[in-house]
């Protein structure tokens, strides 16, 4: 049985922890709002982009002039996985969720006899994947110093991917990130970047596919300019969703931690009071029995 002093100390330390988790929750909430705003601000661009892309893809059709980034190399041997995670922990299962999802994917590919290469964006994913696939990780992107994810960060990653593709380093590229559904739910998602999966149905309908465009320079050239850009945009979107997801996960994790700390304080206070009472009773008995003996 811990002494009164021990209990008192423990209550004090749990209280201190609770203060920290509470502060972290509030910080995460503020950052979440900003991250959501950023994600919303970025939406018009990516919407427009995919609309335009599907428009042109229709115009170009599937002739040979279509860029290789869109049609692929025709093989399916080497896979590049870009795994985006957060830079910091203390956000519940957020990072391990993405990493686990990516790991299952890697295992499946390895069993099928494919070659796998991994680029890690963010420290946490790197730490987790390094344990099992250290030899497969060819590169890692560190965003630790980045306060606010900008398009340049995404563009760098996009250029890296395109550079590798031009050197023939891989055939298929898949992006792993966490889709931000709501504050309490983030879903790990895989998105194929190369060959670019261009949807030709949904987006075309609302931009008036009937419009016959003039292309300047010709459609093929615009397309080959757009596809690399689109890769960067997709990466950018993934990064923004990740930030929002991370903050959401952190917020609920810290909320839980604060509540747990509260429960713990209650329990400890109860046993502290009980013990104090027992001690008083014990002292009283000693005095009374001493008086009776006289």
**Given 74, 217, 287, 293, the residue binding another protein (CB under 8 A):** 217
For residues 39 and 238, what is the distance between their CA atoms, to the nearest angstrom?
Answer: 10
Which of 33, 229, 259, 276 is in the footprint of another protein by CB under 8 A?
Answer: 229
Q: How far is the CB of 65 from another protein (least distance, A)?
A: 16
Instruction: Select 42 or 204, whichever has its Cβ closest to another protein.
Output: 42
Say if CB 85 and CB 111 are below 8 A apart.
no
Alpha carbons 104 and 66: distance in angstroms, whole number? 33
Catalytic residue check, 173? no
For another protein (CB under 8 A), the number of binding residues is 33
Cα–Cα distances (Å) from 188 to 80, 95, 97, 98, 225, in that order, read: 17, 10, 7, 5, 29
Q: Is 42 in the site for another protein (CB under 8 A)?
A: yes
If you ran DSSP here, which 8-state letter would residue 63 be given? S
For residues 5 and 276, give the distance between their C-alpha atoms in angstroms, rounded to a whole number: 10
CB 95 within 8 A of CB 125: yes
Q: Which of 38, 110, 146, 264 binds another protein (CB under 8 A)?
A: 38
Stretch that binds another protein, among 35-43, 134-142, 271-279, 285-293 (CB under 8 A): 35-43
x/- string (CB under 8 A) for another protein, residues 141-170?
---------xx--xx----------x----
56 scored as a contact of another protein (CB under 8 A)? yes
- Cβ-based neighbours of 98, under 8 Å, separated by 6 or more: 83, 84, 85, 125, 176, 177, 178, 188
- List the structure tokens of 161: 């991917």
By the rule CB under 8 A, 203 interacts with another protein: no
Contact set with another protein (CB under 8 A)? 38, 41-42, 44-46, 48-49, 52, 55-56, 150-151, 154-155, 166, 208, 211-217, 219, 221-222, 225-226, 229, 232-233, 236
Known catalytic residues are: 91
């Amino acid at each position: 049985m811990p002494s009164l002093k021990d209990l008192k100390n423990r209550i004090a330390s749990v209280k201190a922890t609770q203060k920290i988790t509470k502060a972290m929750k509030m910080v995460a909430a503020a950052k979440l709002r900003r991250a959501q705003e950023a994600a919303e601000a970025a939406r018009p661009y990516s919407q427009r982009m995919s609309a335009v892309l599907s428009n042109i893809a229709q115009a170009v059709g599937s002739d040979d002039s279509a860029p290789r980034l869109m049609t692929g190399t025709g093989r399916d041997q080497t896979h590049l996985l870009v795994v985006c995670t957060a830079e910091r922990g203390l956000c519940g299962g957020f990072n391990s969720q993405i990493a686990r999802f990516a790991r299952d994917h890697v295992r499946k590919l390895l069993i099928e006899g494919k070659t796998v290469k991994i680029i890690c964006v963010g420290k946490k994913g790197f730490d987790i994947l390094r344990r099992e696939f250290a030899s497969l990780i060819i590169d890692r992107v560190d965003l630790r110093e980045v306060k606010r994810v900008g398009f340049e960060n995404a563009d760098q990653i996009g250029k890296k991917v395109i550079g590798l593709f031009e050197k023939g380093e891989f055939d298929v590229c898949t992006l792993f990130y966490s889709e931000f559904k709501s504050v309490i739910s983030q879903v790990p998602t895989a998105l194929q970047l190369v060959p670019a999966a261009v949807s030709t149905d949904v987006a075309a309908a609302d931009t008036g596919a009937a419009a016959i465009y003039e292309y300047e320079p010709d459609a093929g050239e615009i397309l080959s300019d757009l596809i690399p850009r689109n890769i960067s945009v997709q990466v950018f979107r993934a990064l923004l969703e990740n930030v929002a997801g991370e903050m959401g996960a952190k917020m609920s994790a810290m909320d839980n931690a604060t509540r747990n700390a509260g429960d713990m304080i209650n329990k400890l206070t109860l046993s502290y009071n009980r013990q104090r009472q027992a001690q008083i009773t014990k002292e009283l008995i000693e005095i009374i029995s001493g008086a009776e003996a006289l």
